[in-house]
Amino acid sequence: MAEAHPGHEFLFIFDRPYDEKFVFGKNITPVIAGPPTRSPLLWKWWYDVKLPAVLKKYQADIVVSFDGICSLTTRLPQCLVVQDLSFLHRAFPGSRARLLFYRHYTPAFLRKAARVATVSAFLKNELAATYKTPADTIDIVYGAANDIFSPLSPTIKDQTREKYTGGKNYFVYAGTAHSHKGLTMLLKAFSVFKKRQQSNWKLVITGGPVLKNDKFIKSLATYKYRDDVVVTGAVAESERVLITGAAYALICASPGEGFGRLALEALQSDVPVITSAGSALQEIAGGGALHADLSDQDDIAAKMMLLYKDESLRAALIDKGRERARQFTWRRTAELLWENILKCKPHG
């Protein structure tokens, strides 16, 4: 966005030392305004005391916040970017203090913002329904996935499968948060799949939160098909590229997610997706996904079996998913956000 509008000055405000890669243009001025905000109390102080002072010093015109937080003290018009409402859901991944902060202050932030940008129509509708935010003040600014997610060569796929599943095909499950209930439902669905198909396929579960879920780890120890379940724990993004790209399909469940990055990563990798019906994930994945009720083990299993049996369907989903993924680029994101900023005017 900064590169596309060289006639405008951009002030990048950090609360700690920054990576020099963020300063990629002559029209960007970086500012460190500490101390690092590592708690909700410091967030409040930083946005309401520190930030207004910096804005006044540099004579800023408009504030864009990507954290879902507004300054409640500055008089400058603010564009508030809301990327999810996970704090309204039981699967919120942050601390209780952060959950309570967002639940308490989000209504005030939405009233203060001159304009709201959100990452899906699903989330726009949720904002309007939950907080009565006028729909005509909310713009949809779709995100994108990292370009490193792309189709793998047959050789790399074979090597990845050999590493994680002994060369067997597998479904990979991914989510930004892993609830005990959701993981248990997944195992039940996988049991149905294994019983009916008599298959040697595996289930790979990724993500750091899984290993911290004591209830799930204990239940996995007594699970009938535990030898066919691989729990990787947290892995680097470069490794996720391999695990995702070598999968037969991705099962994606992220309660409260406003966009659908994990699903989009799979589509870019030519991997079809099974995801929750009536969600932002369904909106983003479009025709590249099968949609299931992820609270229904039989529905999840039915979709797994459908992909297992129907190669033509899987190929069609890959083609549709590839086309769908092309619609989401960071350049498009920048253009949509710029349009949102241009509409940003102070209340009253």
- For residue 102, give the 3-state DSSP assignment: helix
Give strand ranges (E) for 23-124: 28-32, 63-65, 78-82, 115-118
The tens digit of pLDDT for each residue in 261-271 reads 889 999 999 99
| pLDDT above 60 (res 347) | no
Q: Is residue 308 within a helix (H) or strand (E), and if so which, with residue range? A: helix 297-309
- Mean pLDDT value of segment 173-202: 86
The tens digit of pLDDT for each residue in 7-28 reads 999 999 999 999 999 999 999 9
Write down the pLDDT at residue 255.
56
Distance between CA atoms of 290 and 171, rounded to whole angstroms?
A: 14
Q: Going from the N-terminus, what domains does the chain have, and what CATH number goes with each? A: 10-144+330-342 (3.40.50.2000), 154-325 (3.40.50.2000)
| pLDDT above 90 (res 281) | no
The tens digit of pLDDT for each residue in 206-252 reads 887 777 778 888 888 899 999 999 999 888 999 999 999 999 999 98
Write down the pLDDT at residue 211.
72
Planar angle of CA 116, 19, 81, nearest 5 degrees: 5
The tens digit of pLDDT for each residue in 65-120 reads 999 999 999 999 999 999 988 888 766 667 889 999 999 999 999 999 999 999 99
Contact in structure between 91 and 179 (CB atoms under 8 Å): yes
Write down the pLDDT at residue 178.
64
Look up residue 22 and give its DSSP letter.
Answer: G
Residue % of the chain over a pLDDT of 90: 78
270 Cβ contact partners less than 8 Å away, ≥ 6 residues apart? 151, 245, 318, 321, 322
User: Over the range 130-142, which residues count as b (16 or more CB within 10 Å of their CB) and which as e?
Assistant: eeebeeebbbebb
Q: Is residue 177 within a helix (H) or strand (E), and if so which, with residue range? A: none
Distance between CA atoms of 182 and 268, rounded to whole angstroms?
A: 25
Per-residue three-class SS string for 237-279? HHHHHHHHHCCCEEEECCCCECCCHHHHHHHHCCCCEEEECCC
Least confident of 236-240, 290-294, 318-322: 290-294
pTM: 0.89
| pLDDT above 50 (res 333) | yes
The token pair that represents 260 in the structure block: 């659908």
Q: C-alpha 215: how far from its chain's center?
A: 25
Distance between CA atoms of 50 and 44, rounded to whole angstroms?
A: 9
Contact in structure between 201 and 171 (CB atoms under 8 Å): yes
CA-based end-to-end distance of the chain? 28
**Average per-residue pLDDT for the chain:** 92
Q: How confident is the model at residue 348 (pLDDT cuts 50, 70, 90)?
A: very low
- Mean pLDDT value of segment 134-163: 97
- Mean pLDDT value of segment 189-199: 94
- Mean pLDDT value of segment 273-288: 88
- Mean pLDDT value of segment 273-299: 89
The token pair that represents 311 in the structure block: 């190669």
Write down the pLDDT at residue 179.
66
User: Over the range 92-121, which residues count as b (16 or more CB within 10 Å of their CB) and which as e?
Assistant: bbeeeeebebbeebbeebbebbbbbbbbbe
Look up residue 73 and give its DSSP letter.
Answer: S
